[in-house]
Amino acid sequence: MLMSPEKLDSTLTEKRVKLHIFQPSKRKIWTVVGVENEYWLDPELDFCSCPGYYFSKKNGEKTCYHLRSLKMAITQDKLELIKFSDQEYEDFISGVLSDLQEITLDNKK
């Protein structure tokens, strides 16, 4: 699944790639705001929570456009850095998991 240059450009210029850093532990959570949802990514595991990632892997493709956007945003320094305190980590993760559950349920309809 190739990403159009326009889609990639808008993802980068609008800084829809986000790095959430928790202080003082320096834990990191990466997200990308997609067309319909915000997705959680783990660049070290080459993982994205979007349905496209699952189907890309299932069809033998290497990755989804969110991961490609993440890698380009890092190289071009076009990401949004958001800082949180460690005390906010649990609530943040709960929100991410809740969003993932909604996305999963929506895709089953």
Whether residue 105 contacts residue 97, with contact meaning beta carbons closer than 8 Å, is answered with no
- Note whether 96 and 102 are within 8 A (CB): no
pLDDT in tens, the chain (109 residues): 456 777 778 888 889 999 999 999 999 999 999 877 889 999 999 999 888 887 776 667 777 888 989 999 999 999 999 999 999 999 999 988 887 777 666 656 5
Q: Are strands 27-33 and 17-23 parallel, antiparallel or unpaired?
A: antiparallel
Domain boundaries, the chain: 5-108
